[in-house]
Structure 1
Amino acid sequence: MKGQEWYQAADVAEEYDSKRFSQGGRLIDEREKQAVIDAIAPMEGKRVLEIACGTGRFTVMLAERGADIVGLDISAAMVQQGRERARRAGVEDHLQFILGDAARLPFPDDYFDVVFAMRFFHLADTPASFLSEMCRVSRDQVFFDTFNRASLRTVYNWLLPMGSRLYSDSEVLRLLHGAGLRLDEEDHDFILPYGFYRSIPDDIARRFRDVDVSLGDSVAGSLASVSYWDAKVE
Structure 2
Amino acid sequence: MKGQEFYQADAVAEAYEDKRFSRGGRLIDRREKEAVLEALSPLQDRRILEIACGTGRFTVMLAERDADIVGLDISQAMLSQGREKAKRAGVTDRLDFMRGDAARLPFPDNHFDAVFAMRFFHLADTPQAFLTEMARVSKDLVFFDTFNARSARSVYNWALPMGSRLYEDSEVTELIAGADLELEAVTDDFVLPYGLYRKIPDWMADGLRDLDTAATDGSVGESLATVSYWTARHS
- Indicate the TM-score class for this superposition, using the shorter chain for normalisation: over 0.9
Partner of 2:70: 70
For the 8 Å contact 1:186–1:229, the answer to whether it is kept is yes
Partner of 1:225: 226
For the 8 Å contact 1:190–1:212, the answer to whether it is kept is yes
Aligned equivalents of 1:190 and 1:225: distance in 2? 5
Partner of 1:143: 143
**In angstroms, what is the RMSD of aligned CA positions?**
0.8
SS of residue in 2 equivalent to 1:122: helix
- Tell me how far 1:158 sits from its aligned partner: 2.2
Aligned equivalents of 1:8 and 1:170: distance in 2? 33
Aligned residue type for 2:222: G
Q: How many residues align?
A: 234
Partner of 1:156: 156
The two structures have a TM-score, normalised by structure 2, of: 0.98
Q: Does 1:168 align with 2:172?
A: no
- Tell me how far 1:20 sits from its aligned partner: 0.4
- Deviations along 1:67-87, whole A, 9 cap, x unmatched? 010000000000010000000
- Tell me how far 1:218 sits from its aligned partner: 2.2
Aligned equivalents of 1:4 and 1:68: distance in 2? 27
- Tell me how far 1:165 sits from its aligned partner: 0.1
- Deviations along 1:15-43, whole A, 9 cap, x unmatched? 00011000010010000000000000111
- Tell me how far 1:161 sits from its aligned partner: 2.1
Aligned residue type for 1:118: M
Aligned equivalents of 1:193 and 1:69: distance in 2? 31
- Deviations along 1:155-203, whole A, 9 cap, x unmatched? 1212212100000000000000001110001100000111111111111
- Deviations along 1:50-99, whole A, 9 cap, x unmatched? 00000001000000001010000000000010000000001011110010
- Tell me how far 1:233 sits from its aligned partner: 1.4
4+ residue stretches of structure 1 with deviation over 3 A? none
For the 8 Å contact 1:156–1:193, the answer to whether it is kept is no
Give % identity: 67
Aligned residue type for 2:22: S
Aligned equivalents of 1:60 and 1:94: distance in 2? 9
SS of residue in 2 equivalent to 1:45: coil
Q: Does 1:207 align with 2:175?
A: no
Aligned counterparts, 1:53-68, within 5 A:
53-68=53-68
Aligned equivalents of 1:140 and 1:150: distance in 2? 30
Aligned residue type for 1:142: V
Aligned equivalents of 1:80 and 1:72: distance in 2? 12
Aligned residue type for 1:49: L
Aligned equivalents of 1:178 and 1:218: distance in 2? 30
The two structures have a TM-score, normalised by structure 1, of: 0.98
Aligned residue type for 1:15: A
- Deviations along 1:92-129, whole A, 9 cap, x unmatched? 11110010010100000000000000000000000000
Q: Does 1:84 align with 2:113?
A: no
**In terms of mean alpha carbon deviation, does 216-225 or 194-203 score higher?**
216-225
Aligned equivalents of 1:13 and 1:215: distance in 2? 34
Structure 1 residue runs of 5 or longer lacking an equivalent are: none
